[in-house]
Amino acid sequence: MKNKLLCLLVFFVSSMYFISSAQNQKNKNPEKSEVKLKPKGFPVTPFKDTLFYVYNNVGSFSAENRAKAITAKIKSLYEDDIFRPDSLKIVPSDISFDIVYKNDFILMSVLQSDAKAENKTADEIVKRNFKVIRNAVIYQNQNHSLLPKRIGFTALLILILSLVLFLVSKVFNKIKSYFSIRRETFFKGFKYNNINILTPEKQEYVTTRVIDILKIIAFILLTYLTLPLLFNIFPATQAYTATILKWTLTPIKAAFFGFVDFLPNLFTIIVIILIFRYSLKIVKFFVDEINKENIKVDGFYSDWAKPTFNIIRFLAYAFMLVIIFPYLPGSDSDIFKGVSVFVGILFSLGSSNAIANMVAGLVITYMRPFKIGDFIKIGDVSGEVIEKTALVTRIRTTKFEDITIPNATILSSTSTNFSANAQQSKDGLLIHTTVTIGYDVPWKDIHNALIDAALNTELTEKTPVPFVLQTSLDDFYVSYQINVYTKEPNKQPRIYSSLHQNIQDSFNAAGIEIMSPHYNALRDGNTTTIPENYLKSDYEPPFFNIKNKS
């Protein structure tokens, strides 16, 4: 029993001695104690095999995240098809040793805390990691290079793009062929208000060109969308992927959000347009009724209805534009204001004559000197009014010549309207012509001959009866004016021609010569100017009168 107690006592003393020795040893060599308490390491495995471990945190950056970041950066070196080992260097700094590629790409930093974790110096760790990283990337590039794969992917993508473009081309050609075979069904021309805008041939041509343009747009769009995929295959061109997508997505995004922001103003503009549109429809209803003379307003003629409505519509649209202007996108920008001022200056400088003609056309409309279909005379131009516009008036002469006269010229000239009272008056238009006959012919015979000629003239009125006015008594002759009524003012040249022919026939039948009275001085011995078929069978020319003074 004593021996057992002695053994236990010896064991207890020995244990206390060893514990005390270990504690003293720990106080003398703290680094070895830290090795025993080394924190958990996280492996850096860019190529499946572990290259080294990361043990310490750096600020808020945990050891695990550091290991993942270093792994990703080493993979990026491998994915670089033009990896240069001599560009990988160790760059010391005040607090660490950095492994840098091409002077600006830091793969990792080795701190003093990393050295303590592995019980080595920072210089040893950074050299070890540098050598491991360099050898691993070189080995992977020599044995598992991505360049052939990338070239293969590029060739495959180009092949797919070519195939897609070929199929798209086939589809568009099929569409063109489909329309071409059934051209009689699809291409019948395009008309608007009896105006032949497009013939069937032109319509087919335009459709074909539109299909070709759509095919080109499809080619460009497919190629453009393929470029980011091509650029993303090679690391050196991956930056262009974001650039190309930015070129496309940035304006689309700006346009989309701009449209969304514009929606409230758009609804306001739509409401304003609808209000003005239906207000003008109400006004148009009353204008049509006035034009049809279903509604009569004292002092307001029916032919004023349409031009008045045009003025109201113009002013309404101008007022509507002024109201809408602030709601238009970009209306407050300096560019928009500059363009508005520039257009206003051009309009002011270049439209002075046009505005003068428009004002003259407006004044002529309310003066009502003539209307469409009237036979008028303006200056030396006579003819039928075939068109009245805001700027000009067109007249068609009896020779079917279309003459355009500016409204300002008409307003400053004297116009004669032959048709204004021709249809409304019971008698019609009074036309006249003048002949001069010598004093040797009785005036009653001349009156009878002229009235007979007027009654035999076509397109003239028999009642009231034509009448003759003696307008002057000149030195050698009397002026006789025959007046006759007609209700066909547009056919005056034909009426005058027929009247002159009948006057000749009537005077010849009556034995009255139509000639200058001065001819009488040489009448002796000369044959009359009356045609032979109007002379009597026993007619003989007069003899010469000779006087002998001796």
Query: Could you tell me which residues are beta bridge partners of residue 481?
Result: 434, 469
Residue 339 pLDDT exceeds 70: yes
Please report, rounded to a whole number, the percentage of residues in the chain having pLDDT higher than 70: 86
**Tell me: the pLDDT tens digits for 119-144?**
888 888 888 988 888 888 887 776 66
The pLDDT confidence band at residue 16, using thresholds 50, 70 and 90, is low
Token reading at 243: 């650039």
pLDDT for position 144: 62
**Tell me: the pLDDT tens digits for 239-258?**
777 777 788 778 888 888 88
**Tell me: the pLDDT tens digits for 161-193?**
999 999 999 999 999 898 888 888 888 877 776
Bridging pattern class, strands 467-473 and 477-486: antiparallel
Longest alpha-carbon distance in the chain: 221
Give 3-state DSSP helix, strand, coil % of the chain, rounded to 5: 60, 15, 25
Q: Give, in order, the Cα–Cα distances in Å from 265 to each of 152, 277, 316, 337.
A: 53, 18, 20, 19
**Tell me: the pLDDT tens digits for 19-45?**
455 455 545 444 444 444 567 888 988
SS3 string, 344-403, reads: HHHHHHHCHHHHHHHHHHHHHHHHCCCCCCCEEEECCEEEEEEEECCCEEEEECCCCCEE
**Tell me: the pLDDT tens digits for 38-67?**
678 889 888 878 888 888 888 788 888 888
pLDDT average, residue stretch 251-271: 88
| Strands of 141-194, DSSP E | 190-192
pLDDT for position 136: 83
Token reading at 418: 């032959």
Find out whether 287 and 301 touch, Cβ atoms under 8 Å.
no
pLDDT for position 483: 96
Note the CATH number of domain 356-417. 2.30.30.60
Three-state DSSP class for residue 403: strand
Q: CA–CA separation, 36 vs 56, rounded Å?
A: 15
Cα angle 283, 289, 294; round to 5: 150
**Tell me: the pLDDT tens digits for 423-455?**
677 888 899 999 999 888 899 999 999 999 999
Three-state DSSP class for residue 484: strand
Q: Collect all residues with Cβ–Cβ distance below 8 Å to 131 and sequence separation of at least 6.
A: none
Q: Exposed, middle or buried, 539 (CB in 10 Å: 0-12/13-18/19+)?
A: exposed
Cα angle 110, 112, 114; round to 5: 60
Note the CATH number of domain 429-534. 3.30.70.100
Q: Give, in order, the Cα–Cα distances in Å from 360 to each of 350, 389, 401, 487.
A: 17, 11, 24, 30
Read off the DSSP letter of residue 116: H
Domains 356-417 and 429-534 share a fold: no
> Which is more confidently placed, 40 or 80?
40
Three-state DSSP class for residue 34: helix
The pLDDT confidence band at residue 347, using thresholds 50, 70 and 90, is low
Q: What is the pTM of this model?
A: 0.46
pLDDT for position 517: 60
The residue extents of the domains of the chain are 36-145, 148-233, 356-417, 429-534
